[in-house]
Amino acid sequence: MTITAKTLKLGNNINTDVIIPGRYLESIDPEELGRHALEGLDPTFPNKAKEGVILVAGKNFGCGSSREQAPIALKSAGVRCIIAESFARIFFRNAINIGLPALECEGISRTTSEGDTLSVDLANGIVANKTTGTVMRATPTPQFILKLIEEGGLIPHVRALVERS
Amino acid sequence: MNIFEKILARASGKREVTPGDIVEANIDMAMIHDLTGPLTLDSFKKIGASKVWDPNRIVIIFDHLIPASTIRAATHQKNLREFAREQGIRSLYDIGQGGVCHQVFHERGYARPGELIVGADSHTCTYGALGAFATGIGSTEMAAVFTTGKMWFKVPKVIKICVRGKLRKYTTPKDLILKIIGDLGEGGAIYKGLEFTGQTFKEMSIDGRLTVCNMVVEAGAKAGIVPPDNKTITYVRARTRGTFKPVLSDEGARYENVLEYDVTGFQPLVACPPTVDNVRPASELQNVSIDQVFIGSCTNGRMEDLRLAASILKGRRINEGVRMIISPASQEIYKECLREGLLRIFTEAGAVVTNATCGPCLGGHMGLLAPGEVCISTSNRNFVGRMGSPQSKVYLANPATAAASGVTGHITDPNELRRR
Ligand code: SF4
C-alpha cells in the first residue's frame, strides 16, 4: 500500500482539543466533524486538506482525550496518512482502528517542508520525498496492524471474526 | 515482574511478559460515557454482533452533558439507555444517580486492585490509584471489546517514582503531579507506565492518589499505579461484592528509570496555558486576573478537594467580577457536601453549585468562556479552547489556590491569603 500526496505541516504536541473541540463531540457524523477539523488551530484547514494530504507533525501528535472524533475529523477532511515524530497512544490506536494510516518517523519534521510531495510505502515503512529526493525510514508497522489498515480498520476486522464464529 | 507486567501477564494467560511484547488480554471491566458511548454503539452495530461479551463487565455513566444540554445529547442518552436494556447491562448511572465517570466507577466498586480496566475516556488511568491497570481507549476499540472481551496491549516500560516528605497545608497531591508532569514534559512518558511509591504515597489519602493517577495521561503515560495497601483494600472492600487479588511489584522488578522526589517545601503550583507541563509557582502569577473559577472534575472534585476549597471560602465572599462554579464529582459527594454544610459555605460565598457533571471542564456546557476570558480550574487540561473560546485561557491549580484566587480576583497562593 503506497500513499502519495502533498504535505501539510504541524508542530509538536497537537492535542485532540484543537483537532476537534469538545463542543462538537455530540456529533458522530464524519462529514460534519471534517468541517471542524483542526478548528482550534487553523479554521482554514479543511479547505487546505480537501484534495487529499499527508499530515507531517512533530512529537506527541494527538495528545489529550480519547475522542475518536479526532482522527475521524482529520480523515474526513482529507488527511490520508499522518507521519509524526511520535504519537499519543490513544490517538495512534484510534487512527489505525478507523483505517487512517499513522507512521512514526524520527526526523520527519526536520526534513519535510509544507507542500513537499511524499510517497509512503506503509508495508516497508519507507517515506520518499519526491520534492527533495530524500528517503527516510519510519518505524516499521507490525504485520497485524498493517493487516488491520488493509482490511479498512477494526470494524471490518472484528466483523470477519464474528462472521467466522 | 513489576505490577504492570504482572497484571498484563495474568490477563493474557502468560507466566511472564517483558516490555515490548504484544499480548492479547482479557478485559476485566469496560466503561463508556454519554459522549464516547454513542460512537461505540455505532461501531458495535457496524460490527454486526448481537450480544455484548459480558453485560456484567460493562458500566455506562452519564456525565459529560447532563442534564442533556441539547436535543442531540438527549437522543444519545436515550439510545444508551435502550442499548443497556436490550443487552442486560445493569450498571447504568443515569442523571441524578452517578456523576463524573472517574469518580462513580470506583465509588461504586468497579475498580479493583489487580484488574485490567479499559474506559472510552483518556482519564480512565485514574483507577490506577486503587492498584488496577486502567487505561483509556477509543470508541471503536471499545466496540471491539464489547464484542470479544479482548484487546491487544504492548507491555509498557515503567518509570518508578519514589516520593518522600510531607506536603504542607495548602500544597496537595495535585501540586505533586503538576511538578512531575512539568519535569517529564507533555509527551515525556508516552506509552509508559508510572509506578508511584514512597512514604508520601503511603500516607496519601485515596482521594489524593486518585488525583495523581488521573493526570498521568497528561505526560502521555498509558497508566499510573499506586501499589495497593491496606487503605486501598479497605476502600475497595467497602464498595464491591466481587473478589479481587491485589498484586505488587517483585523485589528487583524491572524499571526503565527511577525518579526521586522530596516534597518538603513544595509550593502550590499552576499549569499555565496552553500546555499542562507549563508549570510555575502560584506566587509568581499574581498579576494574572481571572474571570471564572471552576472547582470540580475527575481530578479535584472529591470530598477532600471540596473541604479544602470550603476552608478557604468559609466566611469570605468571592471577588466582584469573578464567577465561581463548583461541581461535586458525584451525587454521593454532593450529598456529603450537604451533610457537612459545604453547600452553604459555597453559596454564601457567591459560588454556583452545579449537579455532578463534567460540564465546564471540557467546554461542554454550564460555564463556557468568552473570547479573552481567563479561568482558573482544578481540572486537568488547559489546551487552547478547552473550556470555550479558543481566545480564552485556562490555568490549572489545586482547589485551595483556585478558591483563594476567586476571593482575590487574581491568581493567588493560598498561603498568602489574608483575613479581610
Ligand atoms: S471531568 Fe473533565 S477530564 Fe474528567 S472525564 Fe469529565 S470531561 Fe473528562
Tens of pLDDT along A49-106? 999 999 999 999 999 999 999 999 999 999 999 999 999 999 999 999 999 999 999 9
CB contact under 8 A, B384 and A155: no
CB contact under 8 A, A69 and B39: yes
Q: A40 in helix, strand or coil?
A: coil
CATH of domain B269-419: 3.30.499.10
| Residue A146 confidence (pLDDT) | 87
Quick check: A112 pLDDT over 60? Answer: yes
Radius of gyration of chain A (CA): 15
CB contact under 8 A, A154 and B49: no
- Give the integer Cα–Cα distance in Å for B410 and B322: 9
State the Cα angle at B120 between A96 and A46, rounded to 5°: 50
Q: What percent of chain A has pLDDT over 70?
A: 100
Q: Quick one: which atom of ligand 1 is closest to the CA of B361? A: 2
What cell does B331 get?
Answer: 451525587
Q: Which residues of chain B have pLDDT under 70?
A: 418-420
Q: Quick one: which atom of ligand 1 is closest to the CA of B33? A: 5
- Give the integer Cα–Cα distance in Å for B107 and B43: 29
Local confidence band at A149 (pLDDT 50, 70, 90 cut-offs): confident
Q: Which CATH number does the domain A2-164 belong to among 3.40.1260.10, 3.20.19.10, 3.30.930.10, 3.40.50.300?
A: 3.20.19.10
- Give the integer Cα–Cα distance in Å for B156 and B158: 6
State the Cα angle at B297 between B244 and B365, rounded to 5°: 130
User: Integer distance in angstroms from the first to the last C-alpha of chain A?
Assistant: 29
Nearest residue, CB atoms, A13 vs list B64, B139, B275: B275
What global pTM score does this model have? 0.96
Exposure pattern of A127-145 as b/e (b: 16+ CB <10 Å)?
bbbeeeeeebebeebeeeb
ipTM of the complex: 0.94
CB contact under 8 A, B143 and A68: no
- Give the integer Cα–Cα distance in Å for B216 and B189: 8
Nearest residue, CB atoms, B47 vs list A66, A142, A159: A159
Are A22 and B363 in contact by the 8 Å Cβ rule? The answer is yes
> B417: closest CA among B315, B334, B343?
B315
Q: Does B228 touch chain A (CB under 8 A)?
A: no
| Residue B345 confidence (pLDDT) | 98
Q: How do beta strands B257-262 and B269-271 pair? A: unpaired
Q: Is B102 in the pocket of ligand 1 (CB under 6 A)?
A: yes
Q: Is B122 in the pocket of ligand 1 (CB under 6 A)?
A: no
What cell does B271 get?
Answer: 499549569
Determine the residue of B33, B60, B61, B64 to mutate for testing ligand 1's pocket, defined as the one with the most ligand atoms within 8 A of the Cβ atom: B64
Spacing, Cα B337 to ligand 1 middle (Å) = 20
Q: What are the extents of the domains in chain A?
A: 2-164
**In sequence order, what are the residues at sequence separation of 6 or more whose Cβ sits closer than 8 angstroms to the Cβ of residue A78?**
A34, A46, A49, A50, A51, A52, A53
Q: What are the extents of the domains in chain B?
A: 3-243+250-261, 269-419
For ligand 1, atom 4, the nearest C-alpha belongs to B298
| Residue A142 confidence (pLDDT) | 84
Q: Which CATH number does the domain B3-243+250-261 belong to among 3.40.50.300, 3.30.365.10, 3.30.2350.10, 3.30.499.10?
A: 3.30.499.10
| Residue B420 confidence (pLDDT) | 45
Distance from the B38 Cα atom to the nearest Cα atom in chain A, whole angstroms = 8
| Residue B241 confidence (pLDDT) | 87
Topology match between the domains B3-243+250-261 and B269-419: yes
